[in-house]
Amino acid sequence: MGSPEDQAFGLLSEYANGFMVSQVLFAACDLGVFDLLAQAPEPLGAAAVAARLGTSGHGTELLLDACASLRLLAVETQAGQAAYANTALSAAYLVSASPTSQLDMLRYLGRTTYLCWAHLAEAVRQGRNQYGQAFGVPSGDLFAAVYRSEGERLRFMRALQDVWRVHGRRLMATFDLSTFPVICDLGGEYLPVARASRCQAPPRRPALSVPGCSGALARECLSLYPGCQVTVFDLPEVVLAAKTHFSPPEGGPIGFLAGDFFKDPLPEADLYILARVLHDWTDQACSQLLARVHQACRAGGGVLVVESLLDSDGRGPLPTQLYSLNMLVQTEGRERTPAQYHALLAAAGFRDIQDGGTRGLYDAILARK
């Protein structure tokens, strides 16, 4: 175990080298290591991997061995040579064909979030996001910076799709939402400065609108509440991207509605879903949005808030604390404690506020009008 001093220095080294671990993961994903090994009929040596990826033999061997030490790859010896294969972890989360793949989220983290985090100290000094420093784009209009190009918009949408692949079904089942005949999501992907057009015709029957315009969470909702029609509510350009690049669920009644939740009249519903929305915004903006939701909500209806929740004292869990810092470098908001969300909801007029209590990476809070 070593002396206390050795243990302390080891911990410090682990923290200091954490960015290297992230980059090993990001590089292996970008290069296609895990997809290649998933398609191979048997474990491959470093030379074979390098030849198929078009990478250097030396660099590939170093990367594969680092992945093996991180338990992202399994290694065995064949005729005196190392051969590599995916572990259960990488097969589940790092192979694009897996139904729980997180590749798009990891690509977004590596190509966007990581670059913003290089300016964390400046974000702490200034108290604002770092799109200007990282990408040279103005960040006064938050989602104009987030959606600064068509490619970046798609990357962001695909990253959110990965979140709902893993967490969506559990979160939508936290409470029995079948008691709300008409459910409307006010999705997290909005630009609160441009007035969006509205659909010309209302849905013909009770509609369920869910967050994430790629349709991943919509599929989970449909599997739990098959009697509902699903409508995804988002910006016009995001809706267009969803229709162009993402396939709707087979046989599922999914529709799209364009709008801006800060300016447009909100569609009347029994329940509104705000999934990974409130953490993007300041308390003032959250209060404004929740007040609009309460005004539009039908009597007896409510709102479902899905977020990563801090402990009551705000000093944990560590993943949520890191997410809160990420809100600093990438948005205008922060992660919050259950009590802080309760206060925002109560101030907007909601009552009977219930915690889901699952305390997973994400949790749900249900409040009624």
**Active-site position among 119, 279, 294, 342:** 279
Phi-psi region of 71 (alpha: psi -120 to 50; beta: other; left: phi over 0): left
Q: Where are the alpha helices (DSSP H) in the chain?
A: 4-16, 18-31, 33-39, 46-53, 57-69, 88-93, 103-108, 114-117, 120-126, 131-135, 142-146, 150-172, 216-224, 236-245, 283-296, 318-330, 338-347
State yes or no: is 245 an active-site residue: no
Amino acid identity, residue 108?
Y
- Please list the residues that pair with 336 across neighbouring strands: 309
40-49 burial: b if 16+ Cβ within 10 Å, else e: beebbbbebb
Q: How far apart are CA 139 and CA 364, in angstroms?
A: 29
Amino acid identity, residue 224?
L
DSSP one-letter string for 87-126:
-HHHHHHSSTTSTT--HHHHHHIIIIIHHHHTTHHHHHHH
Of residues 101, 90, 93, 106, the one with CA closest to residue 43 = 90
Q: What residues act catalytically?
A: 279
